[in-house]
Chains A and B, each alone.
Chain A
Amino acid sequence: MAVALAVLTGFGGCASERLQPIQQPPSFTRELVAKGAELAHLGNCMGCHTAEGGKAYAGGTPIKTPFGTIYGTNITPDANTGIGRWSQEAFARAMREGVDRDGGNLYPAFPYDHFTKLADEDIAALYAFLMTREPVRQENRANQVPIPRAFIGVWKSRYLERGAYQPVADRSAEWNRGAYLVQGLGHCGACHTPRNAMGAERKDAAFAGGEVEGWHAPALNSASPSPVPWTVEALHEYLRHGIADLHAMSAGPMAEVVHDLSQVADADVRAIATYVASLDTRSGAERNRAREAALARARASKAVQGNAVYDGSCGDCHNRGRGEEGGALELPLGTALTIPTARNLATIIRDGIVPSEGERGAWMPAFAGALTDQQLTDLLIYLRALSGQPAWPNVAADVRQISRGH
């Protein structure tokens, strides 16, 4: 066993071969580029490769990880600072093996553990799309991660399972398409699956809920904290529009994902919804009971009065429910109240939910400035009680941290 591990890690630590540069990008069909554009949305590539206010796909986006800050790289076809000299072979190798054109290991913040599942034709389309973007000359920022790249070889030998997605025979084509997108390009598990001490997704806890950039990404499996259990229809609506009946609207990193999914084929969103809904394997009866209990709690909450901050700041909208104009979701139906941490709710109340500049989208006002840390803490404790869940630990500490900007 020890020998086997040594061999594995030794092998994994080896640098890969440097691949020859290309002189200029080849030409592509319009159809292939258009397909690649949709795939880039399905993969939320911009999330990491486009900085706020920066040029598209030119990188520079800080990604905070427990190991340090990693910066999304320039993946425009600029010859000197982007991937303009990368052959399709080099691009495919980066996607599947986590190796750059020079043969150096890439940090797994780039989710090649998911992209390794991609079909050849999808990699070709993504390559065609990226190589036809406007080249932007912008140097990559140095990562602030005190872990040598050689160590990544060891990580890969343990956690990178290479190989394309294999369809499950007794499932529908739609389900398999959804599984392919969720496990592969969509890399949903990168946020929704908890990670081990080595930063690898825990395969024994797939979709059990994870942490990303100060947000908790809720569980998507049977441990889903959604008060009203998700259905294919509700997930489809949510993923498409960021808002669905009886569910809270998308916020934080998920709002970006929804924005991307508004740009792709509806059939793909439906396929993703089909697969994700199947991750919750509770019986129909059990899901129904949860649904009825949540709806009863929501009805009861409208009648409750007596918390001045809730009544004065939240109740005007949230007691109306979505049915009425200007109405918002009854809060006991909000997942932010039922997840294991107060951080999401605290962030939403402080910063509101605001569409990106110039865009339309779901909206909630920000209460930063209006509520002191103590008032926000008290409100969070009150809201948690509305959800019927046991009190959150460390609410005050979470609020202080969020006030300081995460």
Chain B
Amino acid sequence: MATLDVNGRVHEVHADDATPLLYVLREDLGLNAAKFGCGLGQCGACTVLADGEAIFSCITPISVVQGRKIRTVEGLGTAEKPGPMQQAFIEAQAAQCGYCIPGMMMRTQALLERKPAASEADIRAALQPHLCRCGTHMRIVRAAARAAELMRGKS
């Protein structure tokens, strides 16, 4: 049994301590934004935030994140009222198949919370652990830069 704080809501979860956070998010809590890509921390599709740090949820057991504030794309806004990160990715039309995008968004979120005036070089460096097989990298970088503007309150 573990207690997890996800997007500001506290959940009691019945799962083994070694269970990857990703499985609990998707299967127990129904939060399907974070994706299962490789299961080995190689592709970044499962990235979520724990106390503001981007982590691979597929190789992070729930025992490790108890007591930390976990955030997923569901916590950034809704379809009706997208948050600045989501708005930026919509404006830039950064998704093709979209599978990698939630991870990209959460990694960018972590970067911009730490460094609101991140440069394009910062964005590229931060997104290094993420793969996109469609090849929308240029739009993703543009979306990340746009998110920085929106988060600084620029319309």
Footprint of B on A, CB under 8 Å? 308-309, 311-313, 315-317, 326, 354, 357, 363, 365-372, 375
Q: A312-B63, A312-B64 are in contact. Are A370 and B18 (CB under 8 A)?
A: no
What would be 17 A-B contacts, judged by CB atoms less than 8 Å apart? Answer: A308-B16, A309-B61, A312-B18, A312-B20, A312-B59, A313-B59, A313-B60, A313-B64, A316-B40, A317-B40, A326-B40, A365-B41, A367-B59, A369-B50, A370-B59, A370-B65, A375-B64
List CB contacts (< 8 Å) of B92-138 with chain A: 128-129
B63–A309 contact, CB under 8 A? yes
- The answer to whether A370 touches B63 (Cβ under 8 A) is no
Kindly state the separation between the CA atoms of A366 and B125 in the bound complex, as whole angstroms. 14
Q: Which residues of B contact A357 (CB under 8 A)?
A: 128
* Chain B residues near A315 (CB-CB < 8 A): 18
B40 touches A370 (CB 8 A): no
Task: Say if the beta carbon of B36 comes within 8 Å of chain A.
Answer: no
Q: Is the CB of B42 closer than 8 A to any CB of chain A? A: yes
Cα–Cα distance between A354 and B130 once the two chains are bound (Å): 13
Contact B18 A311 (CB under 8 A): yes
Question: Which among B39, B54, B60 has the highest number of chain A CB atoms within 10 Å?
Answer: B60
- Of residues 45 through 61 on chain B, the ones whose CB sits less than 8 Å from some CB of chain A are 50, 53-56, 59-61
- List, in ascending order, chain B residues with CB within 8 A of A368's CB: 53
Known: A312-B18, A312-B19. A365 touches B56 (CB 8 A): yes
User: What CA separation (Å) do A226 and B148 show in the bound complex?
Assistant: 48
- Return chain A residues, CB-CB under 8 Å to B28: none
Whether, in the assembled complex, B17 has its beta carbon less than 8 Å from a beta carbon of chain A, the answer is yes
Minimal Cβ-Cβ distance residue in B for A310: B18
A365, A370, A375: the one within 8 Å of B53 (CB): A370
Q: How far is the CB of B62 from chain A (nearest CB, A)?
A: 8
Considering the chains assembled together, what is the distance between the CA atoms of A308 and B60 in angstroms?
A: 10
> A308-B18, A357-B128, A363-B42 are contacts. A369–B55 as well, Cβ < 8 Å?
yes
Residues of B within 8 A of A372 (CB): 64
Contact, CB under 8 Å: B54 / A311: no
Give the distance in Å from the alpha carbon of A316 to the alpha carbon of B54 in the complex: 20
For chain B, the bracket of interface size reads 20 to 34
Least distance between A355 CB and chain B CB atoms (Å): 10
**A368–B61 CA distance with the chains assembled, in angstroms:** 14
Chain A residue contacts of B53, Cβ below 8 A: 368-370
B67 to chain A: closest residue by CB: A372
CB within 8 Å for A354 and B63 given contacts A312-B19, A326-B40, A369-B55: no
Interface residues of B in 66-89 (CB under 8 A from A): none
Bound Cα distance from A364 to B67, whole angstroms: 27
In the complex, which residue of chain A has the Cβ closest to the Cβ of B59? A313
* In contact, B55 and A308 (Cβ under 8 angstroms): no
Do B19 and A365 touch across chains, with their CB atoms under 8 A apart? no
Chain A residue nearest to B21 (CB atoms) is A312
Indicate which residue in B54, B61, B128 contacts A312 across the interface (CB closer than 8 Å): B61
Complex: A112 Cα to B39 Cα, angstroms:
48
Q: Which residue of B lies closest to A315 (CB)?
A: B18
CA distance A214 to B64 in the complex (A): 27
Least CB distance from B2 to A in Å reads 10
**Residues of A with C-beta under 8 A to B42:** 363, 365
Task: Determine if B128 and A313 form an interchain contact, defined as CB atoms under 8 angstroms apart.
Answer: no
Cα separation A104 to B64 with both chains bound (whole Å):
55
User: Measured between C-beta atoms, what is the minimum distance from A309 to chain B in Å?
Assistant: 6
Most interface-central of A357, A368, A369, A375 (chain B CB within 10 A): A369
Contact present for B40 and A365 (CB under 8 Å): yes
With A311-B18, A316-B39 as contacts: A366 and B61 at CB distance below 8 Å: no
